[in-house]
Amino acid sequence: MRPLTPKRVFWICSVLVGVLFVMVVVSLRMGAYPISVRDIVMTLFNGALGRRDRIPSDFWLVVFGLRLPRIALGILVGAALATSGAGFQALLRNPLADPYVLGVASGAALGAMLSLMFAPQVPGAIQAAAFVGAAATTGAVYFLGRRGGQLDSATLLLAGIISASFLSAAIMFLGTTLSGRDQRGMAFWIMGDLSSPPSLNLHWLYLVLIVAVGSIYTTSSDLNLILTGEQEARHLGVNVSRVKLVVYIAASLLTGLAVSVAGAIGYVGLIVPHVMRMIFGTDYRLLIPASAIGGAIAIVFADTLARTVVAPTELPVGAMTALAGAPVFIYLMRRSVR
Amino acid sequence: MSLAISREAFLFWCDTEERLFTPWRRLFTLGIASALLLSAAAQASTWRGFPTQAMVPGTATRVVTDEVGRTVSVPAEVRRVVTLAPNLTEIIYALGLEDRLAGDTNYCDTPPAAKAKPHIGSPVSPSLEAIVALHPDLVLATTSINRRQTVDALARLGIAVYTSDPRTVRGILDSIARMADLMGATAQGAALAAQLQARLDALRARIKDRPAVDVLFVVWEDPLVTIGQNTFIADALRWAGARSVIESKQNYPRVSFEEVVRLEPDYIVLTMDHEGAEENAGASLRARPGWSQIRAVEQGHVAVVGSGMDRPSPGLIDGIEQLARELHPDVFAATTAAMSSAAKEFSICVR
Amino acid sequence: MSASAENSAAVAPQTAAFGQDAPVRLNVEQASYAYAATGRSAPNFTLGPATFEARQRELVAILGPNASGKSTLLKLLAGIVKPLSGRIEVDGAEVGTLDLRTRAQKIALVQQESEVLFPLRVWEYVLHGRYPYGRRLRFESDEDCLLAGNALAQVGAAELRDRWMDQLSGGEKQRVILARALAQQPSLLLLDEPTQHLDIGGKVELLRRLRRLADESRYTVLVVTHELNLAAEFSDRIVLLHKGKCLRVGAPAEVYDRDLLEEVFEAPLEIEVREGGRPRVILRGNL
């Protein structure tokens, strides 16, 4: 009998952060512009100290203007998507749950599209509109998913699928009214695009990430119990309705955040929690932080590939995660039969 | 040495006994980590507005408004240009400024010399780093193929980007003149534009009494996609004495076969990207199901023009002339010998 | 109660002598409830009013045919629903007023089945029973592990500790579920038809175990069942329900009246009194 201890959680997360760090350094190193690791480290170092004059403007441009913002965004998006996926899977007690299944991401994408149509030049409009879209879809699916006054997993899943289809159809319909240029932009963005930094300061977005992941983490003990059955969890003293509400809101917030900033990147919310579960077990007190960091690693890795595989052309990140994600998932599913 | 330190730190955390692991310590570590993360992100995110590559104190710049309404600060002396679309590359070569072309896209193949230039990726998704590595003074983009996000990203890096928005043939000529002006080649630009305009005027004089021929301009065969009335191709058709049977506000509307059969265009116009395939175009089209129903295909009225027709570049004028010749053969019978040499690059297929 | 003071039968282990001084764990006073299809129509089903009590070390059987209101009564006792009238108290506190965690510390409800979605080890599952103690986000302490180990030992499942939940047999799983309930250290242990899927050997073993828990570990056990003979053998007190009415409360010998049981269970029955005073019910005549 070896229960989870905070020390073990911290240790495992440190190792994962270490992997993330290595991935970040590798990602900083790779790209069309040749720059050595030493130069990268010097640039980072001087940059952190504010000594901009010591660095050639090209290095500064490439590291701080191009690669680092992309990586920072990738970490944000990866952590957000993976955590929200883990949350939805516990909430719906369904291993296939994922922000996309619930239609939340489609709602965010629709919001973004509408903002592109009506206010393309307003900075931050896309982000705000995607946020609103995700939140509205969350609310709608939440109310549709109730049965007898309580959230019912099966009904929720159904409501989510229906919403996703409806919203996708709406997006397609509206797509025909866009100009060619905007259609192109939209098509690219919809596949996942980390190259346009959001107009909202990254500070705020990271704050939202930390708050949302933190709220889900505080319910991780509850989620462990809910996974064995809602009735049983209730009898053990878990306030199931409240936990469900918190997780659902936080997970939707995270999805809206990710989609508003980088378009629709699929598979991360589905695969990363599964991989982490297979390595570290199903205890959510470890799974939540592991998924967050694991998601960051996955996206940074996928984005690095997307940038370099067919250089100098850049692929959308979503294409990469789909290409890599599907076979990985199949392999893991077959292996996990105990 | 840093490796040794990190190893020590790692072991320290591993060996820490439970009782030292108080909540305060955890919180403290979390706080430090978050602060570091946030400050790194802050550094990255608050960095807006890089100095332009060629911006040495004292460099003169001009502020212009490009064709999508952006204000752009262009250095007075433009020595290095990067183009983000094949038509822009063609324009550079037509202006004779190819030695200033520092980089173009993977798809820039006209003229063939353009293929040897350093590439920055595809027009839809170029590599921003590759563009930065070329140190351009000016980047040229077009609404016909580039994404708004690419232009925004380059602008954020402090690189001057001029976006053209070709909607009419006249507009394209003006655009050429303006871009030439930006690059300090005003005279060449004006000359080229005037020359192209003269050809168009001559063409118009010739065919102005002829009724416009109804055509269907095929962008893509399956699904059947044609051009809308607000595109430069529609305008080019008008210059060639033709008229698109489909009137649509969309740029690239999809149409059904039934609609095309009902509208009965006199000619089908196809674009071919490569030479050599044109000879069989008419025959192969007739063999396809559905196409044979269209009267024009049956009669062999299929005109194929080279890729110049769908690009807003000087080659468009050649394409217009070729098409006009095809559609109004009787007007040109006497002057076949006077074909311009440039037109020989594009092939024609009749039936 | 006094009739069953000494009992040497091999099947029913001895119940320790208890008297009026054993603390009352559960006190049900005139509790009633009603179901209605919708909020406004007349109730489909009414339960109660029911009055009885259960003391420490007692095993009480809530007995009745199907649709007699047993499950509803159990829900009232567990605090899942609030009674329309009357009171239900556990350790002196009214159940409906307790917050979820305190209630879980006092009352443990043992379900029949547990659907475990992701792979989970037995000891992890049993440790869930410690949730009501401590903060919401908690990591288990050594004490928790000790208590969980004890709980497993008490149900005779100590060797199952490191097995995976989905690899257990039905009987093993039920023991583990029971262990989790014990890990809650409740005052009251509620079981809802626990013998349903068991064969006769399993049934007897389970009831024996419950009896032992009541006697030796001082739990108060309430079992909802329709098994007449098991209830008679093992329980100290029987609450007889019929169509929502609480007909009789008392020791098995007192409650098992032939006419009453025939009316309630709608079957021709005969009652035998065995040595030790416990009744046994058998079917009478030709079927």
- Chunked mean pLDDT (size 10), chain A, 338 residues: 87 93 88 80 78 77 84 94 92 77 82 78 71 81 74 76 89 77 74 74 85 94 90 90 88 84 84 89 94 95 87 82 79 60
List, as one string, the DSSP characters of A44-60. Answer: HHHHHHT-GGGS-HHHH
- Find out whether B113 and B93 touch, Cβ atoms under 8 Å: yes
C42: contact with A, CB 8 A cutoff: no
B chain contacts of residue A2, beta-carbon cutoff 8 Å: none
**How do beta strands C237-242 and C59-63 pair?**
parallel
C144 touches chain A (CB under 8 A): yes
C49 cis-preceded (ω within 30 degrees of 0):
yes
Task: Report yes or no: B129 at the A interface, CB cutoff 8 Å.
Answer: yes
By Cβ distance, the residue of A1, A238, A282 closest to C120 is: A282
- Assess whether chains C and B touch, using the rule of 3 or more C-beta pairs within 8 angstroms: no
**Are A237 and C100 within 8 A, CB to CB?**
yes
Q: Of B25, B38, B47, which to mutate for an interface test with A (greatest number of A Cβ within 10 Å)? A: B47
Residues of A in contact with C173 (CB under 8 A): none
Token pair 């809530």 is found at C62
Report the SS3 class of residue A150.
strand
With beta carbons under 8 A apart, name residues in chain A contacting C116. 227-228
Question: Residue A128 has what pLDDT?
Answer: 74
CB pairs A-C closer than 8 Å: 85
Q: Is C120 on the interface with A (CB under 8 A)?
A: yes
Query: Which chains share 3+ C-beta pairs under 8 angstroms with C?
Result: A
Asked if the C-beta of C37 comes within 8 angstroms of chain A's C-beta atoms, the answer is: no
pLDDT < 70 stretches in chain B: 1-59, 273-283, 307, 333-351
Contact C118 A229 (CB under 8 A): no
- Please tell me the predicted confidence (pLDDT) of residue A215: 94
pLDDT score, position B350? 35
Q: How many CB atoms lie within 10 A of CB B182?
A: 23
Subunit contact B45:A201, Cβ cutoff 8 A: yes
Q: Note which residues in 99-128 of chain A have CB less than 8 A from chain B.
A: 120
The DSSP element (H or E) to which C116 belongs, if any, is none
Question: Cα(B173)–Cα(B315) distance, rounded to whole angstroms?
Answer: 12
Please state whether at least 3 CB pairs lie below 8 Å between chains A and B. yes
For residue C186, which residues of chain A lie inside 8 Å, CB to CB? none
CB contact under 8 A, C111 and A232: yes
Alpha carbons B208 and B204: distance in angstroms, whole number: 5
- Considering only alpha carbons, which residue of chain A is nearest residue C149? A1
Retrieve residue B21's tokens.
């692991």
Burial A205-218 (b: 16+ CB within 10 A, else e): bbebbbebbebbbe
B293 touches A: beta carbon within 8 Å: no
In angstroms, the separation between the Cα of residue C223 and the nearest Cα of chain A is 17
Q: Which pLDDT score, from 0 to 100, does residue C155 have?
A: 92
B125 vs A34, A179, A313: nearest CB: A313
**Partner residue opposite C138 with nearest CB, options A221, A228, A238:** A221
- Put simply, the answer to whether A48 touches B119 (Cβ < 8 Å) is no
For residue A14, the chain B residues in CB contact (below 8 A) are: 10, 13
A7 touches chain B (CB under 8 A): yes
Smallest CA-to-CA distance from A170 within A140, A192, A150 is with A140
Is some CB atom of chain B closer than 8 A to the CB atom of A46?
Answer: no
CB contact under 8 A, A338 and C144: no
pLDDT of B138: 94
ipTM: 0.83
Would you call A48 and B130 a contact, using CB atoms and an 8 Å cutoff? no
**Contact at CB, B45 and A69, closer than 8 angstroms:** yes
CB contact under 8 A, A236 and C129: yes
**How far does the CA of residue A271 sit from the closest CA of chain C (Å)?**
15
The verdict on A70 touching B (C-beta cutoff 8 Å) is no
Rounded Cα distance, C137 and A9, in Å: 13
SS3 label, residue C240: strand
Q: Which of B177, B175, B174 is nearest to B163 (CA)?
A: B175
Positions in chain C whose pLDDT score sits under 70 = 1-21, 37-39, 287
Question: Sign of torsion, CA A87 A88 A90 A94?
Answer: negative
Report pLDDT for A73: 92
Q: Do A188 and B156 touch (CB under 8 A)?
A: no
> What pLDDT score does C1 carry?
39
CB pairs under 8 A between A and B: 136
For residue B219, the chain A residues in CB contact (below 8 A) are none
Contacts of C215 by beta carbon, 8 Å cutoff, 6+ apart = C13, C14, C15, C16, C57
Indicate which of A4, A5, A7 best probes the interface with B, i.e. most B CBs within 10 Å of its own CB: A7
Question: Chain C closest CA to A37's CA: distance in Å?
Answer: 41
Residues of A with Cβ-Cβ distance to C184 under 8 angstroms = 236
How confident is the model at residue A149, as a pLDDT? Answer: 64
Q: Which of residues 219-278 of B touch A (CB under 8 A)?
A: 250-252
Does residue B10 sit at the A interface (CB-CB below 8 Å)? yes
Question: Can you tell me the distance from the alpha carbon of C249 to that of A291, in angstroms, rounded to the nearest whole number?
Answer: 55
Residues 145-164 on B with a CB inside 8 Å of A are 145-149, 152-153, 156-157
In this structure, the strands spanning C24-35 and C45-55 are antiparallel
